[in-house]
Amino acid sequence: MKCKKCKGLAVKNGKQSNGRQRYYCKSCKCSFQRSYNYNAYEKDINRNIYLFLRESVGITATSRLLSISKTTVIKRIKMMASKIVKPILNEKYQYYELDEMRVVVDYKQNEAWITYAINRDTKRIVNFIVGRRTKRNLSIITKSVLQLYPKRVLTDRLRTYIKLIPKKQHDTRKKNTTIIERHNLTLRTHLKRLSRKTICFSKNFQMLEATLKLYIWGNQLNFNL
């Protein structure tokens, strides 16, 4: 093996932690490996990160399985999420269910809520928001639904909804929110950071929102799955 620097004779000099052979030049004292590959630039790396995210694989596990750094995984998730926009739904007179799902953020010190609306028939999510369960945040979701001229808006008995949804369209019977409650379980199953009784959680609201955008509307990225 010739040295890449001085073209002198290089001999084997152990292996790196990833198993790659290293070489040492006796002439210029240079240590190197035959070739360098940066896995983050592999063709399907973004697609694989997206698939792992949807299958409850955490950041650390994704980093280990794809042989890239955790920082790279986080940056790619945020980058892909930034390309996703809330879809404009061309539909009217449908039934919609609204609910809030409690999650923890920042080393379990902060409580947050994922509030979202889902079309009862198509199972498509109209909109979602991450944050406190305030009237302002809830109104963002209710407005997204009301502009679709819904036949019925189905929620739990949270009093704030009474002020935001017209009485003639509002239904608070518990049996009518079974679709979205089942979807809550699906989210907790597929997204590791949402699981109950776990050491996995989001460290900030931005990462939680990016993860949800990828899971809910990631088909916009056209990975041809």
| Residues 62-120: tens digit of each pLDDT | 999 998 999 999 999 999 999 999 999 999 999 999 999 998 876 556 788 999 999 99
- C-alpha separations of 201 from 58, 73, 105, 183, 225 in Å: 10, 16, 6, 19, 27
Q: Which residues contact 19 (CB under 8 A, 6 or more apart)?
A: none
Count of alpha carbons within 13 Å of 94, Cβ hemisphere only?
21
Domain extents for the chain?
1-36, 39-82, 95-220
Instruction: Tell me phi and psi for residue 89, to 5 degrees.
Output: -90, 130
Tell me, what's the pLDDT at 38? 75
Q: Count the neighbouring beta carbons within 10 Å of the beta carbon of residue 42.
A: 14
CA 151 to CA 53: how far, in whole Å?
A: 35
pLDDT band at 200 (very low <50, low <70, confident <90, very high): very low
Tell how far CA 89 is from the center of its chain.
22
- C-alpha separations of 12 from 32, 38, 104, 194 in Å: 10, 22, 50, 47
Domain 95-220: top CATH class: alpha beta
The mean pLDDT value for 47-75 works out to 92
Tell me, what's the pLDDT at 203? 65
Instruction: State the DSSP string of 154-207.
Output: E--S-HHHHHHS-GGGEE--GGGGHHHHHHHHHHHHH-GGG-SSSS--BSSHHH
